[in-house]
Protein backbone atom coordinates (compact mmCIF):
# COMPACT_ATOMS: atom_id res chain seq x y z
CA UNK A 1 0.00 0.00 0.00
CA UNK A 2 1.23 3.49 -0.79
CA UNK A 3 0.23 5.93 1.94
CA UNK A 4 0.33 9.70 1.83
CA UNK A 5 0.96 10.83 5.39
CA UNK A 6 0.43 14.48 6.32
CA UNK A 7 2.37 15.83 9.31
CA UNK A 8 4.78 12.89 9.26
CA UNK A 9 7.66 14.92 10.70
CA UNK A 10 5.79 15.51 13.96
CA UNK A 11 5.62 13.33 17.04
CA UNK A 12 2.91 10.78 16.15
CA UNK A 13 3.23 11.06 12.36
CA UNK A 14 6.95 10.24 12.48
CA UNK A 15 6.26 7.25 14.76
CA UNK A 16 3.67 6.08 12.22
CA UNK A 17 6.18 6.42 9.35
CA UNK A 18 8.96 4.62 11.26
CA UNK A 19 6.81 1.75 12.50
CA UNK A 20 4.83 1.23 9.28
CA UNK A 21 7.93 1.06 7.07
CA UNK A 22 9.58 -1.30 9.55
CA UNK A 23 6.59 -3.63 10.02
CA UNK A 24 5.37 -3.81 6.41
CA UNK A 25 8.14 -4.30 3.82
CA UNK A 26 5.60 -3.74 1.03
CA UNK A 27 4.55 -0.33 2.32
CA UNK A 28 5.55 2.96 0.67
CA UNK A 29 5.11 6.34 2.33
CA UNK A 30 5.05 9.89 1.01
CA UNK A 31 5.32 12.37 3.87
CA UNK A 32 3.87 15.85 3.26
CA UNK A 33 4.86 18.23 6.05
CA UNK A 34 5.17 22.00 6.29
CA UNK A 35 7.92 21.72 8.93
CA UNK A 36 6.39 24.13 11.42
CA UNK A 37 8.10 24.53 14.79
CA UNK A 38 6.80 21.00 15.61
CA UNK A 39 8.04 19.29 12.43
CA UNK A 40 11.54 17.87 12.66
CA UNK A 41 13.26 15.78 9.99
CA UNK A 42 15.62 14.43 12.66
CA UNK A 43 12.62 12.37 13.80
CA UNK A 44 12.99 10.43 10.54
CA UNK A 45 16.77 10.05 10.41
CA UNK A 46 16.43 6.32 11.18
CA UNK A 47 14.33 5.91 8.04
CA UNK A 48 16.62 8.05 5.87
CA UNK A 49 19.60 6.04 7.08
CA UNK A 50 18.04 2.60 6.55
CA UNK A 51 18.73 1.05 3.09
CA UNK A 52 15.63 -1.20 3.47
CA UNK A 53 13.40 1.78 4.11
CA UNK A 54 14.68 4.92 2.41
CA UNK A 55 13.73 3.77 -1.11
CA UNK A 56 10.15 3.31 0.05
CA UNK A 57 9.98 6.78 1.56
CA UNK A 58 9.71 10.28 0.11
CA UNK A 59 9.57 13.58 1.97
CA UNK A 60 7.79 16.57 0.45
CA UNK A 61 7.88 19.93 2.19
CA UNK A 62 4.55 21.68 1.81
CA UNK A 63 1.36 23.01 3.32
CA UNK A 64 -1.92 21.07 3.34
CA UNK A 65 -3.64 24.43 2.68
CA UNK A 66 -1.94 24.56 -0.75
CA UNK A 67 -4.55 23.12 -3.14
CA UNK A 68 -2.34 23.12 -6.24
CA UNK A 69 0.46 21.30 -4.42
CA UNK A 70 -2.03 18.65 -3.27
CA UNK A 71 -3.38 18.19 -6.81
CA UNK A 72 0.13 17.78 -8.20
CA UNK A 73 1.18 15.37 -5.46
CA UNK A 74 -1.93 13.19 -5.80
CA UNK A 75 -1.46 13.03 -9.59
CA UNK A 76 2.22 12.18 -9.24
CA UNK A 77 2.02 9.64 -6.42
CA UNK A 78 -1.52 8.22 -6.73
CA UNK A 79 -1.54 6.98 -3.14
CA UNK A 80 -3.90 4.21 -2.06
CA UNK A 81 -4.58 5.91 1.26
CA UNK A 82 -4.10 9.14 3.17
CA UNK A 83 -3.44 9.25 6.90
CA UNK A 84 -3.96 12.84 7.97
CA UNK A 85 -1.95 13.85 11.08
CA UNK A 86 -1.01 17.42 10.16
CA UNK A 87 -2.34 19.85 12.73
CA UNK A 88 -1.46 22.50 15.22
CA UNK A 89 -1.57 20.17 18.21
CA UNK A 90 -0.88 22.17 21.37
CA UNK A 91 -3.76 23.48 23.48
CA UNK A 92 -1.74 26.27 25.15
CA UNK A 93 -0.47 27.58 21.81
CA UNK A 94 -4.04 27.47 20.47
CA UNK A 95 -5.07 29.72 23.38
CA UNK A 96 -2.27 32.23 22.76
CA UNK A 97 -2.60 32.21 18.95
CA UNK A 98 -5.70 30.53 17.45
CA UNK A 99 -5.17 31.62 13.83
CA UNK A 100 -2.74 28.88 12.70
CA UNK A 101 -5.00 26.34 14.42
CA UNK A 102 -7.98 27.29 12.32
CA UNK A 103 -5.82 27.58 9.18
CA UNK A 104 -4.32 24.11 9.40
CA UNK A 105 -6.83 22.08 11.40
CA UNK A 106 -9.93 23.36 9.61
CA UNK A 107 -8.95 24.97 6.30
CA UNK A 108 -6.12 22.49 5.77
CA UNK A 109 -8.40 19.50 6.35
CA UNK A 110 -11.01 21.05 4.06
CA UNK A 111 -8.40 21.61 1.32
CA UNK A 112 -7.29 18.00 1.61
CA UNK A 113 -10.87 16.71 1.43
CA UNK A 114 -11.53 18.83 -1.64
CA UNK A 115 -8.37 17.42 -3.24
CA UNK A 116 -9.52 13.84 -2.76
CA UNK A 117 -13.02 14.68 -3.95
CA UNK A 118 -11.38 15.40 -7.32
CA UNK A 119 -8.81 12.59 -7.06
CA UNK A 120 -10.27 9.81 -4.90
CA UNK A 121 -8.17 7.47 -2.75
CA UNK A 122 -9.22 4.11 -1.27
CA UNK A 123 -8.99 5.28 2.37
CA UNK A 124 -8.78 8.62 4.14
CA UNK A 125 -8.02 8.31 7.86
CA UNK A 126 -8.51 11.55 9.75
CA UNK A 127 -6.53 11.54 13.01
CA UNK A 128 -8.44 13.22 15.80
CA UNK A 129 -8.56 13.39 19.56
CA UNK A 130 -10.54 12.50 22.67
CA UNK A 131 -10.51 16.24 23.48
CA UNK A 132 -13.56 16.66 21.22
CA UNK A 133 -15.72 15.02 23.92
CA UNK A 134 -14.58 17.65 26.46
CA UNK A 135 -14.33 17.12 30.20
CA UNK A 136 -16.31 14.14 31.51
CA UNK A 137 -17.63 13.64 35.06
CA UNK A 138 -16.31 10.41 36.66
CA UNK A 139 -17.01 7.58 36.09
CA UNK A 140 -18.38 8.33 32.59
CA UNK A 141 -16.40 7.16 29.55
CA UNK A 142 -17.08 8.52 26.07
CA UNK A 143 -17.89 6.09 23.29
CA UNK A 144 -18.04 7.31 19.69
CA UNK A 145 -21.66 8.52 20.08
CA UNK A 146 -20.87 10.75 23.07
CA UNK A 147 -21.76 14.44 22.49
CA UNK A 148 -19.00 16.83 21.44
CA UNK A 149 -18.29 19.59 23.96
CA UNK A 150 -15.06 21.43 23.17
CA UNK A 151 -13.24 23.94 25.37
CA UNK A 152 -10.18 25.26 23.53
CA UNK A 153 -9.65 26.64 20.02
CA UNK A 154 -7.59 23.46 19.41
CA UNK A 155 -10.35 21.02 20.35
CA UNK A 156 -13.05 23.11 18.65
CA UNK A 157 -11.06 23.07 15.41
CA UNK A 158 -10.46 19.30 15.72
CA UNK A 159 -14.18 18.68 16.29
CA UNK A 160 -14.99 20.87 13.28
CA UNK A 161 -12.54 18.96 11.10
CA UNK A 162 -13.98 15.60 12.26
CA UNK A 163 -17.47 16.68 11.24
CA UNK A 164 -16.22 18.07 7.95
CA UNK A 165 -14.40 14.81 7.16
CA UNK A 166 -17.47 12.73 8.04
CA UNK A 167 -19.66 14.97 5.86
CA UNK A 168 -17.53 13.98 2.85
CA UNK A 169 -18.43 10.36 3.57
CA UNK A 170 -22.13 11.12 3.95
CA UNK A 171 -22.42 13.52 1.02
CA UNK A 172 -19.78 12.43 -1.47
CA UNK A 173 -19.34 8.79 -0.38
CA UNK A 174 -15.60 9.32 0.10
CA UNK A 175 -13.97 6.54 2.16
CA UNK A 176 -13.40 8.60 5.31
CA UNK A 177 -12.61 7.10 8.73
CA UNK A 178 -11.98 9.11 11.92
CA UNK A 179 -9.85 8.10 14.91
CA UNK A 180 -9.99 9.82 18.31
CA UNK A 181 -7.04 9.03 20.54
CA UNK A 182 -6.19 9.87 24.11
CA UNK A 183 -2.96 11.55 25.29
CA UNK A 184 0.10 10.06 23.58
CA UNK A 185 3.59 9.87 25.03
CA UNK A 186 6.91 8.35 23.94
CA UNK A 187 10.17 9.23 22.15
CA UNK A 188 10.46 12.34 19.92
CA UNK A 189 7.59 14.09 21.75
CA UNK A 190 7.96 17.86 21.46
CA UNK A 191 8.80 19.17 24.95
CA UNK A 192 5.89 21.62 25.10
CA UNK A 193 3.57 18.77 26.20
CA UNK A 194 3.29 17.55 29.79
CA UNK A 195 5.45 14.40 29.82
CA UNK A 196 8.45 15.54 27.72
CA UNK A 197 8.36 19.01 29.28
CA UNK A 198 8.53 17.55 32.78
CA UNK A 199 11.22 15.01 31.86
CA UNK A 200 13.47 17.59 30.23
CA UNK A 201 12.93 20.19 32.98
CA UNK A 202 13.73 17.53 35.60
CA UNK A 203 17.00 16.71 33.83
CA UNK A 204 17.80 20.44 33.70
CA UNK A 205 16.96 20.85 37.42
CA UNK A 206 14.47 23.64 36.64
CA UNK A 207 10.91 23.93 38.07
CA UNK A 208 8.19 21.60 36.79
CA UNK A 209 5.13 23.87 36.20
CA UNK A 210 1.95 22.05 37.24
CA UNK A 211 -1.26 23.85 36.20
CA UNK A 212 -3.82 24.51 38.95
CA UNK A 213 -4.00 21.76 41.57
CA UNK A 214 -2.58 19.07 39.25
CA UNK A 215 -5.63 16.85 39.84
CA UNK A 216 -6.71 16.85 36.16
CA UNK A 217 -6.95 13.40 34.62
CA UNK A 218 -5.60 12.20 31.29
CA UNK A 219 -5.58 8.70 29.76
CA UNK A 220 -2.03 7.85 28.59
CA UNK A 221 -1.38 5.93 25.36
CA UNK A 222 2.10 4.88 24.23
CA UNK A 223 2.65 6.34 20.75
CA UNK A 224 3.44 2.97 19.11
CA UNK A 225 0.18 1.54 20.47
CA UNK A 226 -1.59 4.51 18.89
CA UNK A 227 0.11 3.82 15.54
CA UNK A 228 -0.93 0.15 15.72
CA UNK A 229 -4.51 1.32 16.36
CA UNK A 230 -4.36 3.63 13.33
CA UNK A 231 -3.13 0.74 11.14
CA UNK A 232 -5.99 -1.41 12.46
CA UNK A 233 -8.46 1.30 11.43
CA UNK A 234 -6.73 1.82 8.07
CA UNK A 235 -6.81 -1.89 7.23
CA UNK A 236 -9.94 -3.16 8.97
CA UNK A 237 -12.10 -0.17 9.91
CA UNK A 238 -15.47 0.54 8.33
CA UNK A 239 -15.86 3.62 6.15
CA UNK A 240 -17.81 6.49 7.67
CA UNK A 241 -17.06 5.27 11.20
CA UNK A 242 -15.32 6.85 14.18
CA UNK A 243 -12.93 4.80 16.34
CA UNK A 244 -11.68 5.82 19.79
CA UNK A 245 -8.10 4.75 20.61
CA UNK A 246 -7.36 4.94 24.33
CA UNK A 247 -4.56 3.80 26.58
CA UNK A 248 -6.75 2.49 29.39
CA UNK A 249 -4.49 4.25 31.85
CA UNK A 250 -6.00 7.26 33.57
CA UNK A 251 -3.79 9.22 35.95
CA UNK A 252 -3.87 12.60 37.65
CA UNK A 253 -1.22 14.97 36.24
CA UNK A 254 0.47 15.31 39.62
CA UNK A 255 0.89 11.52 39.81
CA UNK A 256 2.51 11.52 36.36
CA UNK A 257 4.86 14.32 37.41
CA UNK A 258 5.84 12.52 40.61
CA UNK A 259 6.63 9.34 38.67
CA UNK A 260 8.76 11.33 36.22
CA UNK A 261 10.76 12.87 39.07
CA UNK A 262 11.27 9.44 40.58
CA UNK A 263 12.36 7.98 37.21
CA UNK A 264 14.70 10.89 36.53
CA UNK A 265 16.14 10.74 40.05
CA UNK A 266 15.13 14.30 40.93
CA UNK A 267 13.42 15.69 44.10
CA UNK A 268 9.72 16.59 44.39
CA UNK A 269 10.79 20.07 45.50
CA UNK A 270 11.14 20.86 41.76
CA UNK A 271 7.33 20.82 41.44
CA UNK A 272 5.90 24.33 41.08
CA UNK A 273 2.13 24.85 41.08
CA UNK A 274 1.29 27.64 38.61
CA UNK A 275 -1.81 29.49 37.35
CA UNK A 276 -4.20 27.12 35.64
CA UNK A 277 -4.82 26.83 31.87
CA UNK A 278 -7.92 28.88 30.88
CA UNK A 279 -10.87 26.56 30.14
CA UNK A 280 -8.84 23.60 31.41
CA UNK A 281 -10.66 20.29 30.87
CA UNK A 282 -10.53 18.36 34.14
CA UNK A 283 -10.99 14.80 32.95
CA UNK A 284 -10.77 12.97 29.61
CA UNK A 285 -11.99 9.39 29.43
CA UNK A 286 -12.84 7.22 26.43
CA UNK A 287 -13.60 3.61 25.76
CA UNK A 288 -11.95 1.88 22.78
CA UNK A 289 -14.27 -1.12 23.04
CA UNK A 290 -15.44 -0.66 19.42
CA UNK A 291 -11.92 -0.79 17.96
CA UNK A 292 -11.01 -3.75 20.17
CA UNK A 293 -14.15 -5.67 19.20
CA UNK A 294 -13.92 -4.97 15.45
CA UNK A 295 -10.17 -5.37 14.92
CA UNK A 296 -8.67 -7.14 17.93
CA UNK A 297 -6.40 -4.14 18.66
CA UNK A 298 -5.43 -3.45 22.28
CA UNK A 299 -2.79 -1.22 23.86
CA UNK A 300 0.23 -3.37 24.74
CA UNK A 301 2.59 -1.05 26.61
CA UNK A 302 2.09 -0.61 30.36
CA UNK A 303 2.44 2.98 31.56
CA UNK A 304 5.30 1.99 33.88
CA UNK A 305 7.32 0.42 31.07
CA UNK A 306 6.42 3.13 28.56
CA UNK A 307 7.40 5.93 30.92
CA UNK A 308 10.70 4.22 31.74
CA UNK A 309 11.50 3.82 28.02
CA UNK A 310 10.52 7.44 27.39
CA UNK A 311 12.66 8.84 30.22
CA UNK A 312 15.57 6.73 28.96
CA UNK A 313 15.08 8.04 25.41
CA UNK A 314 15.34 11.64 26.62
CA UNK A 315 18.40 10.73 28.71
CA UNK A 316 20.03 9.22 25.59
CA UNK A 317 19.03 12.00 23.18
CA UNK A 318 20.11 15.18 24.87
CA UNK A 319 21.46 16.65 21.63
CA UNK A 320 17.97 16.33 20.07
CA UNK A 321 16.46 18.00 23.14
CA UNK A 322 19.04 20.81 23.15
CA UNK A 323 18.33 21.63 19.49
CA UNK A 324 14.55 21.52 19.96
CA UNK A 325 14.59 23.57 23.16
CA UNK A 326 16.53 26.49 21.71
CA UNK A 327 15.41 29.71 19.99
CA UNK A 328 11.69 29.93 19.29
CA UNK A 329 10.97 27.28 21.92
CA UNK A 330 12.32 29.54 24.65
CA UNK A 331 10.21 32.46 23.35
CA UNK A 332 7.07 30.35 23.66
CA UNK A 333 8.16 29.11 27.09
CA UNK A 334 8.52 32.70 28.26
CA UNK A 335 5.13 33.65 26.79
CA UNK A 336 3.33 30.69 28.34
CA UNK A 337 4.97 30.50 31.74
CA UNK A 338 6.26 33.95 32.71
CA UNK A 339 2.78 35.26 33.55
CA UNK A 340 1.81 32.11 35.52
CA UNK A 341 2.51 32.77 39.15
P1 LIG B 1 2.87 17.55 16.29
O2 LIG B 1 2.57 18.96 16.65
O3 LIG B 1 4.00 16.85 16.95
O4 LIG B 1 3.11 17.42 14.72
C5 LIG B 1 2.31 18.08 13.78
C6 LIG B 1 3.00 17.97 12.43
O7 LIG B 1 2.15 18.57 11.44
C8 LIG B 1 4.34 18.70 12.35
O9 LIG B 1 5.30 17.90 11.73
C10 LIG B 1 4.04 19.94 11.53
O11 LIG B 1 5.15 20.44 10.82
C12 LIG B 1 2.95 19.43 10.62
N13 LIG B 1 2.08 20.50 10.11
C14 LIG B 1 1.47 21.48 10.83
N15 LIG B 1 0.77 22.29 10.03
C16 LIG B 1 0.90 21.79 8.76
C17 LIG B 1 0.39 22.19 7.50
N18 LIG B 1 -0.39 23.26 7.37
N19 LIG B 1 0.72 21.45 6.42
C20 LIG B 1 1.53 20.35 6.55
N21 LIG B 1 2.07 19.96 7.72
C22 LIG B 1 1.74 20.67 8.81
O23 LIG B 1 1.50 16.78 16.52
P24 LIG B 1 1.24 15.31 17.10
O25 LIG B 1 1.22 15.36 18.57
O26 LIG B 1 2.12 14.35 16.40
O27 LIG B 1 -0.27 15.10 16.61
C28 LIG B 1 -0.55 14.57 15.31
C29 LIG B 1 -2.05 14.46 15.14
O30 LIG B 1 -2.59 13.62 16.17
C31 LIG B 1 -2.79 15.80 15.28
O32 LIG B 1 -3.82 15.81 14.32
C33 LIG B 1 -3.37 15.77 16.68
O34 LIG B 1 -4.55 16.53 16.76
C35 LIG B 1 -3.65 14.28 16.86
N36 LIG B 1 -3.62 13.78 18.25
C37 LIG B 1 -2.54 14.05 19.05
C38 LIG B 1 -2.50 13.51 20.33
C39 LIG B 1 -1.33 13.72 21.26
O40 LIG B 1 -1.39 13.32 22.41
N41 LIG B 1 -0.24 14.33 20.81
C42 LIG B 1 -3.57 12.71 20.79
C43 LIG B 1 -4.67 12.49 19.94
C44 LIG B 1 -4.67 13.02 18.66
O1 LIG C 1 -6.17 14.14 24.76
C2 LIG C 1 -5.48 14.18 23.55
C3 LIG C 1 -4.74 15.49 23.43
O4 LIG C 1 -3.65 15.41 24.34
C5 LIG C 1 -4.25 15.82 22.04
O6 LIG C 1 -5.35 16.01 21.20
C7 LIG C 1 -3.38 17.06 22.02
O8 LIG C 1 -2.82 17.26 20.75
C9 LIG C 1 -2.26 16.89 23.02
O10 LIG C 1 -1.49 18.06 23.10
C11 LIG C 1 -2.83 16.54 24.39
O12 LIG C 1 -3.57 17.66 24.95
P13 LIG C 1 -3.47 18.02 26.50
O14 LIG C 1 -3.86 19.44 26.68
O15 LIG C 1 -4.13 17.01 27.34
O16 LIG C 1 -1.87 17.80 26.68
P17 LIG C 1 -0.74 18.63 27.42
O18 LIG C 1 0.47 17.78 27.41
O19 LIG C 1 -0.64 20.02 26.93
O20 LIG C 1 -1.31 18.68 28.91
C21 LIG C 1 -1.60 17.49 29.63
C22 LIG C 1 -2.11 17.90 30.99
O23 LIG C 1 -1.03 18.48 31.74
C24 LIG C 1 -3.20 18.95 30.97
O25 LIG C 1 -4.12 18.69 32.02
C26 LIG C 1 -2.45 20.25 31.23
C27 LIG C 1 -1.32 19.82 32.14
N28 LIG C 1 -0.09 20.60 32.03
C29 LIG C 1 0.46 20.77 30.78
C30 LIG C 1 1.61 21.50 30.62
C31 LIG C 1 2.20 21.70 29.25
C32 LIG C 1 0.53 21.12 33.15
O33 LIG C 1 0.05 20.94 34.29
N34 LIG C 1 1.68 21.84 32.99
C35 LIG C 1 2.24 22.08 31.77
O36 LIG C 1 3.27 22.78 31.70
**Gyration radius of the chain's alpha carbons:** 19
How does pLDDT run across 105-159, given as a tens digit for each residue?
A: 999 999 999 999 999 999 999 999 999 999 999 999 999 999 999 999 999 999 9
pTM, two decimal places: 0.99
pLDDT of residue 208: 98
How does pLDDT run across 159-199, given as a tens digit for each residue?
A: 999 999 999 999 999 999 999 999 999 999 999 999 999 99
User: From the CA of 104, how far away is ligand 1's center (Å)?
Assistant: 10
Q: How far is CA 250 from the centre of its chain?
A: 18
Nearest-5° angle of CA 75, CA 78, CA 83? 115
- Does 260 fall in a domain? no
Q: Which of 33, 88, 92, 130 is catalytic?
A: 130
- Binding site membership of 65 for ligand 1 (Cβ less than 6 Å): yes
Helix 194-204 × helix 253-264 angle, to 10°:
40
- Does 180 fall in a domain? yes
Tell me, yes or no, if 268 is annotated catalytic: no
Nearest ligand to the CA of 185 is 1
- Does 88 fall in a domain? yes
- Binding site membership of 321 for ligand 2 (Cβ less than 6 Å): no
- Does 325 fall in a domain? no
Structural domain span for residue 225? 2-189+220-248+284-301
Q: Residue whose CA is closest, atom 28 of ligand 1?
A: 85
- Nearest ligand 2 atom to the CA of 129 is 6
- Does 72 fall in a domain? yes
Q: Residue whose CA is closest, atom 44 of ligand 1?
A: 129
Q: How many structural domains are present in the chain?
A: 1
Tell me, yes or no, if 154 is annotated catalytic: yes
Percentage of residues in the chain with pLDDT exceeding 90? 99
- Binding site membership of 151 for ligand 2 (Cβ less than 6 Å): no
* Helical (H) or strand (E) element with 199: helix 194-204
Residue 341: pLDDT band with limits 50, 70, 90: confident
Tell me, yes or no, if 131 is annotated catalytic: yes
Sign of the alpha-carbon dihedral angle for 128, 114, 294, 30:
negative
How does pLDDT run across 73-90, given as a tens digit for each residue?
A: 999 999 999 999 999 999
- Does 288 fall in a domain? yes
Q: How many CB atoms lie within 10 A of CB 293?
A: 9
Q: What is the CATH number of the domain that holds 144?
A: 3.40.50.720
How does pLDDT run across 239-255, given as a tens digit for each residue?
A: 999 999 999 999 999 99
Q: Residue 60 to residues 31, 44, 176, 258, 278: CA-CA distances in angstroms?
A: 6, 13, 23, 40, 36
Q: Which of 129, 119, 115, 120 is nearest to 247 (CA)?
A: 129
Which residues does residue 222 pair with via DSSP β-bridges, in sequence order?
185
Sign of the alpha-carbon dihedral angle for 180, 147, 177, 139:
positive
- Does 21 fall in a domain? yes
Amino acid sequence: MKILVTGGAGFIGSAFVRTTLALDPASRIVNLDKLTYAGNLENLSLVEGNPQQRDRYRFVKGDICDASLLEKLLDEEQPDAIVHFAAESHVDRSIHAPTPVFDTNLRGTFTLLEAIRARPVKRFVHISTDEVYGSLPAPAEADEQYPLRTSSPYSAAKAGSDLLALSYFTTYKLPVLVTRASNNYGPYHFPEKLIPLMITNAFDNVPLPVYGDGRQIRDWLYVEDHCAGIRAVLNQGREGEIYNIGGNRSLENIEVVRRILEGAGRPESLIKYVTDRPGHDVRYAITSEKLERETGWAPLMSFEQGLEKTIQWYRDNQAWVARVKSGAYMQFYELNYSSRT
